[in-house]
Amino acid sequence: MPAQNLLTNSDIAELLAIASESAKQPLQKALRRASRKAFLWPEEAAQMIQQDRSLEELPGVGPSLNRIIGRWIQDPPDVPKPPEIRAGFFTAVRAAEILADNPSWLHGVKGDLQMHTLWSDGTASIEEMAQAAVARGYEYIAITDHAKGLKIAGGIDESQVATQAEEIALVNAAMASTAKPFRVLRSIELNLSPSGAGDMEPAALARLDLVLGCFHSALRKKEDQTERYLAALRNPDLQILGHPRGRIYNFRLGLTADWRRVFDLAAELDKAVEIDAYPDRQDLSGDLVKLAAKAGCRISIGTDSHGPSQLRFMEFGLASALLAGVKRDRILNFMTAEELLNWVGSVRERSARRSVA
Ligand SMILES: [Zn+2]
């Protein structure tokens, strides 16, 4: 079989999604799930078959999926162009290839700027997330548990944020003696209303090291949403606009806007827009990262990890930024903790001046 005819994991993901549409339960659910999981497979399935290996080595692949996918690989069907709801997502294999050509990017990352812990909907403690980040060679992480407005994700209120600060201080004190300096930064995933307002007291937010703000409601609107993005960026309490489109693989398209205006305003205010590197999100998507790169605004990469093993999703975000031509000095994650905090300080000062003027 000539190499150019090999199905990629991304092709297989699309075939699985298409097959799920005409399948009966419980197969339908299994195929849909496998379509998402294919993006995480660490190797090309087609190459595994060439090596006479079973696809059951792959997470989430059992005997029946092994048979179905194996047949496709042996006799590749046509793979149509994915519909928009599944278009423009990197596979782990593709992201790793892109990074292999630029190893300094992966090694240069100093921190991860979005993750959740047991305080909201994560599965691990702050300390466990910190240890996992140290193992990756990071100098800092930002803990961004959900704010109180997002009840479904266990959002925390002002007093819980204050208690969380005590825990973070303890973790930081315990880690102060490690060989390489490491710091847990206090942050939050502020829940933004469609008008760009946050759900927490500004005074509580001002005590955090940095603030990420995200939309979680009215995400299926078809009309242009430029105004909500401009309002969110002008919100003086936040520095990073997280998972801007609100898209989710094979589930939700996300919002549309005049992105040039959005990124121009971000550049003018020196605020950052996020590449949420969670595989199902990859939001900003590659096409929008390109526009953001052109506008010259700052980019923050957050894995949106809900457990320690997900910190590796950083690769999806880095690959997207690399491919879009984002300059390294525009990416927050390459800053030291000190540089990052200085930037937050200057953005806050600028916001304060604007509100006085
Ligand atoms: Zn979110």
Q: 80 CA distance to ligand 1 centroid (A)? A: 31
Q: 109 CA distance to ligand 1 centroid (A)? A: 22
Query: What one-character-per-residue DSSP string does 164-218 give?
Result: HHHHHHHHHHHHTTSSS--EEEE--EEEE-TTS--SS-HHHHHTSS--EEEE-SS
CA dihedral 253, 256, 262, 264 (to 10 degrees): 100
Closest CA to 242 of 199, 303, 320: 303
Closest CA to 286 of 79, 228, 277: 277
Q: 13 CA distance to ligand 1 centroid (A)? A: 24
Q: 54 CA distance to ligand 1 centroid (A)? A: 36
pLDDT along the chain (357 residues), means of 10: 74 98 93 96 97 94 95 96 97 97 95 97 97 96 95 91 97 87 96 95 97 95 96 98 98 97 98 98 98 98 98 98 97 98 97 80
Amino acid at 315: E
DSSP state of 282: -
Q: 243 CA distance to ligand 1 centroid (A)? A: 7
Rounded to two decimals, what is the model's pTM? Answer: 0.95
Q: 69 CA distance to ligand 1 centroid (A)? A: 33
Q: 28 CA distance to ligand 1 centroid (A)? A: 27
pLDDT digits (tens, 9 = 90+) for 79-132: 999 999 999 999 999 999 999 999 999 999 999 999 999 999 999 999 999 999
Q: 196 CA distance to ligand 1 centroid (A)? A: 14
Closest CA to 322 of 355, 277, 279: 277
Can you give the pLDDT at residue 179? Answer: 77
The two three-digit tokens of residue 101, written as one number: 């050509």
User: Nearest 5°: CA angle at 282, between 131 and 14?
Assistant: 120
Q: 189 CA distance to ligand 1 centroid (A)? A: 7
Q: 271 CA distance to ligand 1 centroid (A)? A: 18
Q: 151 CA distance to ligand 1 centroid (A)? A: 12
Determine contact, residues 209/187, Cβ cutoff 8 Å. yes
pLDDT digits (tens, 9 = 90+) for 253-292: 999 999 999 999 999 999 999 999 999 999 999 999 999 9
Q: 187 CA distance to ligand 1 centroid (A)? A: 13
Q: 280 CA distance to ligand 1 centroid (A)? A: 12
SS3 call for 37: helix
Q: 259 CA distance to ligand 1 centroid (A)? A: 19
Q: 347 CA distance to ligand 1 centroid (A)? A: 22
Q: 222 CA distance to ligand 1 centroid (A)? A: 20
Can you give the pLDDT at residue 1? Answer: 42
Q: What number of residues does the chain have?
A: 357
